[in-house]
Chains A and B, each alone.
Chain A
Amino acid sequence: MNLAPYGSTVTAPAAEPSPIIAISGLQKWYDRFHALKDIDLDVQRGERIVICGPSGSGKSTLIRCINSLELYQGGRIVVDGFDLGDGEKSIDAVRGEVGMVFQQFNLFPHLTVKENCMLAPMRVRGIARNRAAELAMTYLERVRIAEQAEKYPAELSGGQQQRVAIARALCMNPKVMLFDEPTSALDPEMVKEVLDTMVGLAEDGMTMLCVTHEMGFARSVADRVIFMDRGEIIESDRPGPFFANPKNPRTQAFLGQLLHH
């Protein structure tokens, strides 16, 4: 779908690469509440997906299932060949390859910005301290916050903290990045710096799943926009048609509300 430059002139069909994330028949309940209803979703390598929908629609729950922060009761999630249903070992493997950025940043307040970035590479990858420090500085520079490396998270603004959180995840060299409403807790003037960082990531070819209400970001960056409501995927399309003529009335209603305030 995003191979447009090659168009239809390709003679032999290129072998379809296996999706990096394959979700099929996913079911999730919170007690009686059916949070995810039979979700099927494949994410290709390098694909950028934006998931939107009203609160309580299950969009955060869905991406939290991918790195096993939420357990699920039915269906299957396979990330880069590791089936989450195979137990601890494969959950650890998946978490090592999937980075996550949270709404509330969740930086470790007792560690400096640099130490926040060094912890997982040292403990999970077994990288030596000085090498981990270099790695941390590389990614802190990439999110343009290297000069704050020795500060504690509480000394930074929300936007800066969120960029550190992105750098921290990148230090693990993830194959996929999950964003759970990364700009929802930010003051409006800080949203842009975080979105710019995310756009930069997308341009570098990172596979991304973003739960966000930033429709401008969806329009310019996403390969695919997914609309969820009441635990179901209602609509999934390229941003052009998704915003221009959404097919489902629920999508239309949601987009209508977003645009009219």
Chain B
Amino acid sequence: MIRQFGLSEILSILAGVQSTVMLSLVAFAGGGIVGLAIALMRTSERSWLQRIAGSYIDFFQGTPLLMQLFLVFYGLPVFGYKVGPWTAVSIGLTLHASAFLGEIWRGSIQAVPKGQTEAAKALGLSYFNRMRDVVLPQAMRISIAPTVSFLVQLIKGTSLAAIVGFVELSRSAQMIASTTYKPLLAYGFAAIVYFIICFPLSRFSMNLEKRFQVKT
């Protein structure tokens, strides 16, 4: 039976938003933590750490996100970890995000003038304090715009999770499209919802960038 595109259809699509937002937050938080570690390894004075982080970044930048999700979804069971779609896409997107955030933040850390690190060293500050109190606060300002624009990419990237059976915004739109036979309406609506989430973020990053420019 072909259903009409009505309020209940709209609500089912909106129900997918929650999963999209949750998945984005998990991937961004997880990716942020791992990504900071990757960025610190990449900028470390030890070359073996640099190489490990470098290969990690190269792998995730050199393969499509979809393949990475497949590898986690079908790969983990091979090692005896039975994972559901939720866990699989969370892990997949976290790894993906960590590599990209790691690379963005590496660049930001290296953009902080070398004299800052030297002055901090000369004052006797430990590596931890040099990073936390001197380098990272400055790197953070530099990295805000690219970080938020990557977050927008990530939110849109969660739509790929639909392919391994995870129901989020795109997947729920797809289901409504097939029950109502109104794909343009269903996908159009989903696109508007994505835009409503992502557009304010882009604006927000532009504003932050301006504010920090004035301050320093």
* Residues of chain A whose beta carbon lies under 8 Å from any beta carbon of chain B: 67-69, 92, 95-96, 98-100, 102, 104, 106-110, 119-120, 123-124, 152, 154, 165, 168-169, 172
The dominant DSSP class at the B interface is helix
> With an 8 A cutoff between CB atoms, is B207 at the interface?
no
Q: Report the count of interface residues on B (CB-CB < 8 A).
A: 20
Of all chain B residues, the one with the shortest Cβ separation from A125 is: B124
**A110 touching B137 in the complex, CB below 8 Å, given contacts A102-B115, A123-B129:** yes
Find out whether the CB atom of A69 lies under 8 angstroms from the CB atom of B121. Answer: yes
Query: How close is A117's CB to chain B, nearest CB, in angstroms?
Result: 10
B residues 96-135 with Cβ under 8 Å of A? 113, 115-116, 118-126, 129, 133-134
> With an 8 A cutoff between CB atoms, is B138 at the interface?
yes
Query: B residues within 8 A CB of A110?
Result: 137-138, 141, 216
Find out whether the CB atom of B133 lies under 8 angstroms from the CB atom of A123. Answer: yes
Expressed in whole angstroms, the Cα–Cα distance for A124 and B124 within the complex equals: 7
Of all chain B residues, the one with the shortest Cβ separation from A99 is: B122
Find out whether the CB atom of A119 lies under 8 angstroms from the CB atom of B216. Answer: no
Expressed in whole angstroms, the Cα–Cα distance for A56 and B14 within the complex equals: 67
**A106 touching B123 in the complex, CB below 8 Å, given contacts A119-B133, A123-B129:** no
Query: A residues within 8 A CB of B141?
Result: 110
Of all chain A residues, the one with the shortest Cβ separation from B133 is: A119
Query: B residues within 8 A CB of A99?
Result: 122-123
Find out whether the CB atom of A123 lies under 8 angstroms from the CB atom of B125. Answer: yes
**A67 touching B122 in the complex, CB below 8 Å, given contacts A108-B116, A154-B216:** yes
Query: B residues within 8 A CB of A152?
Result: 215-216
Shortest beta-carbon contacts, A-B, top 9: A106-B119, A120-B123, A106-B115, A100-B122, A95-B124, A96-B124, A124-B124, A123-B129, A110-B137
B residues 121-176 with Cβ under 8 Å of A? 121-126, 129, 133-134, 137-138, 141
**A102 touching B216 in the complex, CB below 8 Å, given contacts A108-B134, A109-B138, A124-B124:** no
Q: List 18 A-B contacts (CB under 8 A).
A: A69-B118, A69-B121, A95-B121, A95-B122, A95-B124, A99-B122, A100-B119, A102-B115, A102-B118, A104-B115, A106-B115, A106-B118, A108-B133, A109-B216, A119-B134, A120-B124, A124-B129, A152-B215
Find out whether the CB atom of B138 lies under 8 angstroms from the CB atom of A92. Answer: no
Query: A residues within 8 A CB of B137?
Result: 110
Expressed in whole angstroms, the Cα–Cα distance for A172 and B122 within the complex equals: 11
Query: A residues within 8 A CB of B216?
Result: 109-110, 152, 154
**Binary interface encoding of chain B residues 194-214 relative to chain A, with 1 for a CB under 8 A from any of its CBs, else 0:** 000000000000000000000
Residue B125 contacts which of A102, A104, A120 (CB distance < 8 angstroms)? Answer: A120
Query: How close is B112's CB to chain A, nearest CB, in angstroms?
Result: 10
Query: B residues within 8 A CB of A119?
Result: 123, 125, 129, 133-134
**A102 touching B119 in the complex, CB below 8 Å, given contacts A119-B133, A123-B129, A154-B216:** yes
Query: A residues within 8 A CB of B122?
Result: 67, 69, 95, 98-100, 102, 169
Find out whether the CB atom of B123 lies under 8 angstroms from the CB atom of A168. Answer: yes
Query: B residues within 8 A CB of A68?
Result: 121
Query: B residues within 8 A CB of A169?
Result: 122-123
Find out whether the CB atom of B119 lies under 8 angstroms from the CB atom of A108. Answer: yes
Query: How close is A10's CB to chain B, nearest CB, in angstroms?
Result: 38
Of all chain A residues, the one with the shortest Cβ separation from B140 is: A110
Query: How close is B121's CB to chain A, nearest CB, in angstroms?
Result: 6
Find out whether the CB atom of A124 lies under 8 angstroms from the CB atom of B118. Answer: no
Query: B residues within 8 A CB of A165?
Result: 119
Query: How close is A103's CB to chain B, nearest CB, in angstroms?
Result: 9
Of all chain B residues, the one with the shortest Cβ separation from A124 is: B124
Expressed in whole angstroms, the Cα–Cα distance for A110 and B135 within the complex equals: 10
Query: How close is B122's CB to chain A, nearest CB, in angstroms?
Result: 4
Expressed in whole angstroms, the Cα–Cα distance for A124 and B134 within the complex equals: 14
